[in-house]
Structure 1
């Protein structure tokens, strides 16, 4: 955020400049009213700090001239005059707030934050988010996946500039105007390097998608967080996969039947999050456990699986379809991680989602929800998704309900089993990210079209 300080007292100028810069504001200084008027009308600022007693044009007259020229940004008066008449005169001239000298710097900062929030068309958040990235504007703390991210003051200012203006494209010269004072204007190459540095730090922190995209011939803009749901859930659960493998290893030793179920769930979750090789390894472990093979055959696969989890998952670009008219989706899966991923993906498109992790609640939830589409896992412990699909099709009420099966299985037998049971579509969990939402949307649209035609 860029502030114009119009003040002729050099000591106050130095104090306020250092304080505001330390809080990530960019400051331009004018020591008289005429210079302040020129800067305010020729350059873009987010707020003006204006002293009343300044040479050439006093603060009251300057405030009046700015408002007469349709200057809409907040103006905060700084004055040694504390009489009611002087305060009323300043506010009537067009100021938004006032602060009498001497003042506490903490109060000045609080009033600046309040005025900047007031200038928004809606209540401005104190925390800006983009996927798993969080920026606390009050503490200036930046987190990615709940971990602190150290940025330089200019990197922080660049990041907040784009997060505050998600729909705007900034040229290099506009970025210079917003992030640097007039006395310290760098070349456009400095902006290019600054953007490279920010991208590098975000990538090192784990962000898979570039936050800023280049608009050739125009500048840069904030990338639409099309896959923010994936990034958020991935960041939240990525670290849990290693502990799940450790738990699987313990279950193999002490509870093999439970281990087979955990391997099955892990195979699906890993595939959903881009660990396709890890998913195949977990599937092999599941088959060996079902066949009651010796642990000596499973141990090397556990080691391979741990090694795969040290690698980054496959980056998958997701195209966000347009939001559809309000529709309800019911999800059935025994794995909480997969349910969270699917739910976030669908909710980001404006769909109402009801999740069922415990199959015994299936029929009650189905009757209460009355979904427009049903999405469920093909195989769950103590429940066969194909049999459940067949039971749904036998009810007159749900005979035409679109059903989409998801599974970690990729063999032809599983696919045939799903369609034979009455499923309308089938998707592998390793392909959930790029294909899942479009297929659900397609089933909803097709069902509505058939209802209209009938």
Structure 2
């Protein structure tokens, strides 16, 4: 089942996605209300999990608008606002349930299951059975003759889809839509592999009959149950020892992915705490601007919701007190300042204590309660890969960095091991390094063997010799990509993302208008197996009302009908601003030259003659719908381009941080404001050390990629709501820190140095210590009328110059008098 998660706090979002994915739900993510509204209206979700405080369109308004648009999807509100008024407002806006942060993950999963049981999709079949094969949707467990069948989450979801709709034929694109998200959808070849994997898994568990039937030219469906007991001739089961080992007897272990989510949240605490602390200090000094107060209140709200979830229950209580005081509409007097200070001190003390350990959600009664699930990772990556013959250092870096990009990589000990893993369906892609010490025939033998056994298996070839002859041989063996060493992990992952592109087609609705019920029935029978929702109308006088209700993606109109002909209805549609671009196919009994000309003159897109030929109808309908979706995507791209055109004028196209023009304007604006407020401002200029050597050795593309990673890391070390990170020169960055003295700037510099160190971007120069480092220049002052922003800029430039003269990997700080 597919869930839309609307949450702008990335730590909470990652935690929920981890547990929901482990419970075998497909999760689509949105970080603001506008994007969530577009997704909720374009796609059919089984549940929407909605935070209240989200950018651009708040949760209450979004809920009201969705209900006003007729979206009946269950909505579970998940927010830190726990007052009775907030709960009442959320439920009155149309929410079905309301959970307050901090929350217990097991309780959230239980509420998710309860809401899905109320929905029509989850309540139709509580337990799905095919012969002696049983799928228990409550436990997310599949059994055959009482023995657990170990399935991966995708295999389980595919089997559940077939069992829930036993009479329906699913095309590959429809299966993609049901089992993958917009961002994580592979090509249609992945569906073929998944069906094969599920068949093999069931066969190994003793299911003799082929459960899934291939309908050639259409897709797949559940095979009709044969007479007699299924699989009575042969019974094989997993050995008891293997089952016991799969289930495990030791204590529950925190998954590595869950630890990573917790670590990312831990790293964000100090940054959020610094924002709140800055507001308290400004208030103590008697000068707390409204904008700073609002930002601090927002950060306190995020802390209140996240701390309790990640084990700091006492800290969550203190953060909530801070949020209530900062969010009060009353002026903050001396007593409020003292309260804020005490709450802040108590919060720091609570954070100094170790958090309560995060444990995986209780699986009893959970969809993730499959006992065999212990045999696989609790949260599956987006893609899996196998590497063969990689250098140890590159292989270690690939295994360490790949999870951040949604990949999981294993190392094959040899060609035999690799082929066995591919036979088990344990990888979507192979990274193969060629051995340059042997003959060309020998070094290409692994590629030849892989492609001979698995022609559709994507293979990325790494080589240390850039030879045209070798490139041709790899191309002849159907190698998918070819990279020449030295290469970085980022280059490998970027190339793999190109091999496995994301694509997904939305479900489509077709409206058929024909006064002949037989023709309507035939068209419906032909189109429904392709996953199309067909609405049939035999009375043309009700056309407009039904059209507005169904909002189809394509119209099929009979040419000759009583009351209103197809020509009349086509002209009516073309005159309407809402449905004017709707694809229209006309159906005529005896199409002649006059009829064809008339159909196209009034705006018809195509003409189909009777008697209807099934393949022709299906091909034309799917083709028109695909063109319509493509046109809509292009229009959306143009719309987004127009909306963000201003942003493009202020954003560096390579690093996606502010450009030099925006930097100059922002620095001047902040200088003038701080001159009036007599508040401190600091400026940091920094540049990667000896980046020219990096570009010369690794090339332009790798150098640009490293520059982008540095920009993202610098952006994460500051508060983007207040501070500004910009690309000031070709390889130089500037960071403007409003309301920050030199002590605060030093703390930011420390975070920047640590963030760059954590990146561990390899540097070819021995003088760099093996990794890219930064040189930084710091300037700061309280602006006065006798100085200008250019003085601050020159001071920081001189400090940066002196830091580079000292050998790099250091900083210089020059205050302005």
Q: Which TM-score applies when normalising by structure 2?
A: 0.28
The structure with higher relative contact order (CA 8 Å, sep 6+) is 1
